[in-house]
């Protein structure tokens, strides 16, 4: 039986790569994001493989979230897999110099957006007593590093929410897990450094994880047998030992 997956933040990076990986495996897709042109591009690429629909909204807006989910065609309403991937990092400032706008953006997207999407989708999973939720966390959710303060806080929250979800939804047979990447070469650093030159240096001197590496891990998690749940997975590139220890070529 064909499964349906909803992926937030599908317009780039890990979300895009996960959509491609799922399509190759025959999973029907609901692609969500704020850039309709990118959603259209991805839909065109993947539609020859599987049925695809798109939802253009901002996870920070709870009214938009529920309106978008309610608008799904009947053939996409049964969501078997939820990938809470939408997230961001803004700025890399010490706590006393941090931007309130940056803090709001990180907490609103990384934490509240994840909650809004989950709230919209969990009831149908609960009623069917079936479903799988993967929240994309970060190594920053396990270890705080200098100037990471609020971003690390938001990702620690993602892991706490994931554990709470798994406990609360256990009685309904719903799987819940977190995939936590270390350094992945995506648009992440361009957003964090706001397009500055620092972004160009983040991935130099070593081989960072690629979005496809994380997509493969996500598919591994969702393709386990019914009695197996990957509750938590931390993934580093070989060059990375922790959030602050990285082997770079001189």
33 bridge partner residues: 56
Structural domains present in the chain: 4-235 (3.40.50.720)
pLDDT of residue 193: 58
The token pair that represents 224 in the structure block = 């386990």
pLDDT of residue 230: 98
The active-site residue out of 155, 190, 206, 207 is: 155
For this structure, is 155 an active site residue?
yes
The Cα 52–Cα 54 span in angstroms is 7
pLDDT of residue 195: 61
pLDDT greater than 80 at residue 194? no
For this structure, is 190 an active site residue?
no
pLDDT greater than 70 at residue 204? yes
Please state the pTM of the whole predicted model. Answer: 0.94
Mean pLDDT rounded to a whole number for the chain: 95
The Cα 117–Cα 79 span in angstroms is 12
Q: What is the mean pLDDT of residues 24-40?
A: 97
The Cα 182–Cα 241 span in angstroms is 9
Q: Worst-scoring range by mean pLDDT, 124-133, 158-167, 182-191, 217-226?
A: 182-191
What does the pLDDT look like over 4-31, one tens digit per residue?
Answer: 999 999 999 999 999 999 999 999 999 9
Beta strand spans in the chain (E): 4-7, 28-33, 52-56, 81-84, 132-136, 175-181, 184-185, 209-210, 232-235
The count of other CB atoms within 10 Å of the CB of residue 160 is 12
The active-site residue out of 142, 151, 175, 219 is: 151
Quickly tell me which residue has 């809470």 as its tokens: 84
What does the pLDDT look like over 92-118, one tens digit per residue?
Answer: 999 999 999 999 999 999 999 999 999
pLDDT of residue 201: 79
pLDDT greater than 80 at residue 60? yes
């Amino acid at each position: 039986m064909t499964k349906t997956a909803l992926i937030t933040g599908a317009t780039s990076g890990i979300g895009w790569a996960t959509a491609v990986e799922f399509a190759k495996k025959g999973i029907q897709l609901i692609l969500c994001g704020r850039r309709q042109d990118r959603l259209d591009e991805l839909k065109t690429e993947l539609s020859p493989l599987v049925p695809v629909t798109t939802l253009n909204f901002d996870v920070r807006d709870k009214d938009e979230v529920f309106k978008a989910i309610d608008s799904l065609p009947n053939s996409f309403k049964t969501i078997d897999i939820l990938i809470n991937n939408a997230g961001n990092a803004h700025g890399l400032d010490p706590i006393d110099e941090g931007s309130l706008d940056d803090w709001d953006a990180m907490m609103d997207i990384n934490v509240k957006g994840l909650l809004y999407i989950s709230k919209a989708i969990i009831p149908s999973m609960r009623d069917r007593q079936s479903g799988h939720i993967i929240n994309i966390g970060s190594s920053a959710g396990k270890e705080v590093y200098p100037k990471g303060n609020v971003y690390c806080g938001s990702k620690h929250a993602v892991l706490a929410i994931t554990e709470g979800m798994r406990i609360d939804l256990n009685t309904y047979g719903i799987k819940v897990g977190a995939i936590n990447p270390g350094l992945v070469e995506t648009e992440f650093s361009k957003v964090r450094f706001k397009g500055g030159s620092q972004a160009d240096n983040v991935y130099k001197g070593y081989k960072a994880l690629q979005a496809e590496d994380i997509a493969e891990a996500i598919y591994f998690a969702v393709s386990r047998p019914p009695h197996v749940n990957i509750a938590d997975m931390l993934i580093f590139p070989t060059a990375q030992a922790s959030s602050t220890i990285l082997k770079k070529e001189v």
